[in-house]
Amino acid sequence: MNVLRVCIVAVVGVIGAASSAGRAQSLPHIDAVIEEMELAVLAGDPAAYLRHVAPTECAGCDAFFRAEQEAWAADLAKVRPVKFELSASEPREREDGGVAVMLVMEYAMPEGPAKKGARAEWTGVFRRHGDDGKSGEVNGDRWLYHGEPWLVLEREGFVVKYEPGFEEVAEEAAAAFPVSKSHADEGFGITNAKPQQIKLYHDMEHLKASVYLSMPDSSLGGWNEPGESIKFMTWYTRGEGWKQAFAHEYAHVATWEMGPRARQNMPWWMAEGVAELSAERFRPGYVAALDKMMRDLAASNALVAWQEIIDYQTAAQRVKQMAYMQGHHLMGYVSERFGREGRNAWIREVAAGKTLDEATRGALGTGFAELDAAWRESLKER
């Protein structure tokens, strides 16, 4: 209750400041929405929060943004913030009838990097909707949150969204993505004509606040989940480096196309390992270095058990890199020993929902423990 009271006081403060500064008439409506969003978050109520977010389909709606907000909201039911304040200022009317405001989000979580509090700010857009949820209704009563007013590069099959001042990096990303996508589609033997969205952030707190509040990483270079945009920090890489970056991230999208249970059922090390495998084409010299590192780790008995890196949420910080490196090496081993067809069949069985052992037996004709033992044995050969 205490948090709630502090919160409402903060919102009233914003409204007071707004009217005294003679801001746009629409601001009290926006603040009313923001206050309800805030209360929904503090109540840990995803459905109540999502009532204020633009739907998947309407004129001017964005299905990727909606999916991102649904994932953001779902987290509230798992971990409720101990503090959450959202405030708006500097309203500006937009040509499309919406209102852009500077949003400031201050929050604290019971555990994790945001335990001592976090703060993010960005420009957010609100637009009028009618009661039926359609956008652009001049007299509609409902103001819904539409996310950021991104600048957009439209390309065949995908868009790149970015902020003013980042035109060059957006062009680099747009040039690289199709190359990485064709490489991954071919490697995984899929065709994927679904539109893809890419978002480039220049402020990490903004990126983190857009993912979900209980985010276990204090530092984030990008993000990617089914139905969501592929998100990257603008500084993540440059020029040709984007090919490698997208070959990894889009490989996740490709594997989600390989079976309905891919996201839920695939061990984290397999998801990251196969994504690293997809990126190796664009990382000259890396495979040899990785191979040496894995052999050195094997010699000093420092490889990890697969169970330790099976889940991103529960893996210990000290072993997280191994999901990428050890996972990559095993996927490379399987590709060499069983061919691309065998490897892809293995991924498809996991993506269909089989257990790891069933999938390994079905596609590779051996149990997973035997496969692991053979892989470890192969690391002893120099």
Measured from the CB atom, is 106 or 272 closer to Zn ion? Answer: 272
What is the smallest separation between the CB atom of 275 and Zn ion, expressed in angstroms? 5
Stretch that binds Zn ion, among 79-87, 187-195, 259-267, 268-276 (CB under 5 A): 268-276
Measured from the CB atom, is 221 or 362 closer to Zn ion? Answer: 221
Measured from the CB atom, is 127 or 328 closer to Zn ion? Answer: 328
Determine phi and psi for 293, rounding to 5 degrees.
-60, -45
Stretch that binds Zn ion, among 7-15, 166-174, 253-261, 267-275 (CB under 5 A): 267-275
Residue 216 CA to residue 16 CA, distance in Å, equals 36
Contact 198, 232 (CB under 8 A): yes
Other residues' Cβ atoms within 10 Å of the Cβ of residue 353: 14
Binding mask 271-310 vs Zn ion (x if CB under 5 A, - otherwise)?
Answer: -x--x-----------------------------------
Measured from the CB atom, is 126 or 268 closer to Zn ion? Answer: 268
Measured from the CB atom, is 147 or 267 closer to Zn ion? Answer: 267
Residue 36 CA to residue 258 CA, distance in Å, equals 40
Binding mask 328-367 vs Zn ion (x if CB under 5 A, - otherwise)?
Answer: ----------------------------------------
Closest CA to 148 of 42, 242, 216, 64: 64
* Strands 142-145 and 230-233, bridge-based pairing: unpaired
Measured from the CB atom, is 86 or 262 closer to Zn ion? Answer: 262
What is the smallest separation between the CB atom of 261 and Zn ion, expressed in angstroms? 18
Stretch that binds Zn ion, among 209-217, 264-272, 330-338, 342-350 (CB under 5 A): 264-272
Measured from the CB atom, is 42 or 275 closer to Zn ion? Answer: 275
What is the smallest separation between the CB atom of 251 and Zn ion, expressed in angstroms? 8
| The two structure tokens encoding residue 362 | 């079905």
Q: Which residue is nearest to Zn ion (CB)?
A: 275
Residue 143 CA to residue 147 CA, distance in Å, equals 12
Q: Does 176 bind Zn ion (CB under 5 A)?
A: no
What is the smallest separation between the CB atom of 252 and Zn ion, expressed in angstroms? 6
Residues 180-239 close enough to bind Zn ion by CB under 5 A: none
Binding mask 118-157 vs Zn ion (x if CB under 5 A, - otherwise)?
Answer: ----------------------------------------
Contact 149, 74 (CB under 8 A): no
Closest CA to 29 of 148, 149, 146, 142: 142
What is the smallest separation between the CB atom of 222 and Zn ion, expressed in angstroms? 8
Total residues contacting Zn ion (rule CB under 5 A)? Answer: 2
Measured from the CB atom, is 163 or 272 closer to Zn ion? Answer: 272
What is the smallest separation between the CB atom of 378 and Zn ion, expressed in angstroms? 25
Closest CA to 160 of 181, 188, 190: 181
Measured from the CB atom, is 142 or 248 closer to Zn ion? Answer: 248
What is the smallest separation between the CB atom of 9 and Zn ion, expressed in angstroms? 42
Stretch that binds Zn ion, among 98-106, 265-273, 288-296, 301-309 (CB under 5 A): 265-273
Whole-angstrom CA distances from 96 to 82, 126, 139, 164, 178 are 36, 10, 14, 19, 31
Measured from the CB atom, is 75 or 272 closer to Zn ion? Answer: 272
| The two structure tokens encoding residue 210 | 């857009």
In the complex, the residues that contact Zn ion under the rule CB under 5 A are: 272, 275
